């Protein structure tokens, strides 16, 4: 009877505390990370590709090229570091580039990124970081 109770509690404890997206093989524990989901990509089979495409479309549709005092477009390179937090909000940590008008235009464009479904690690919402090199 004691052995039966022991096995019952052993099995029930194993299943009660099992985590989704966590694999244990021997001494190796692997957690699966899922990227944030852009609005409209929830039903897409390849959500990462959809996220990348939506981000590219967002840049194309919302970036407004600044003009210099002669009225000519100002172009430049920018590196954006940002993350999508546990609530799905995009937080920009730095925007570095060679021309201030381009940096200001990129910052304005990034404010318009919509709130998303947050990324997960091991089944729990987590912050996912991105570094975007932009050539505008």
pTM recorded for the entire structure:
0.73
Residue 117 located in a structural domain: yes
Q: How many distinct structural domains can be found in the chain?
A: 1
Mean pLDDT for the stretch of residues 50-71: 92
Instruction: Say if residues 101 and 74 touch (Cβ distance below 8 Å).
Output: yes
Residue 11 located in a structural domain: no
3-state secondary structure at position 54? helix
pLDDT tens per residue, range 87-131 = 999 999 999 999 999 999 999 999 999 999 999 888 889 999 999
pLDDT tens per residue, range 37-49 = 999 998 888 888 9
Cα–Cα distance for residue pair 127/101, rounded to 1 Å? 29
Residue 2 located in a structural domain: no
Residue 105 located in a structural domain: yes
99 sits in the region (left: phi over 0; alpha: psi -120 to 50; else beta) called beta
């Amino acid at each position: 009877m004691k052995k039966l109770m022991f096995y019952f509690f052993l099995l029930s404890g194993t299943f009660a505390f099992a985590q989704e997206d966590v694999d244990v093989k021997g001494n190796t524990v692997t957690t699966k990370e899922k990227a944030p989901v852009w609005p409209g990509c929830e039903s897409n089979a390849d959500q990462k590709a959809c996220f990348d495409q939506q981000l590219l479309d967002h840049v194309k549709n919302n970036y407004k090229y600044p003009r210099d005092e002669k009225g000519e477009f100002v172009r430049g390179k920018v590196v954006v570091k940002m993350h999508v937090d546990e609530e799905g909000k995009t937080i920009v940590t730095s925007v570095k580039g060679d021309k201030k008008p381009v940096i200001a235009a990129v910052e304005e464009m990034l404010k318009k990124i919509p709130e998303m479904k947050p990324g997960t690690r091991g089944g729990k919402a987590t912050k996912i970081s991105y570094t975007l090199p932009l050539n505008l």
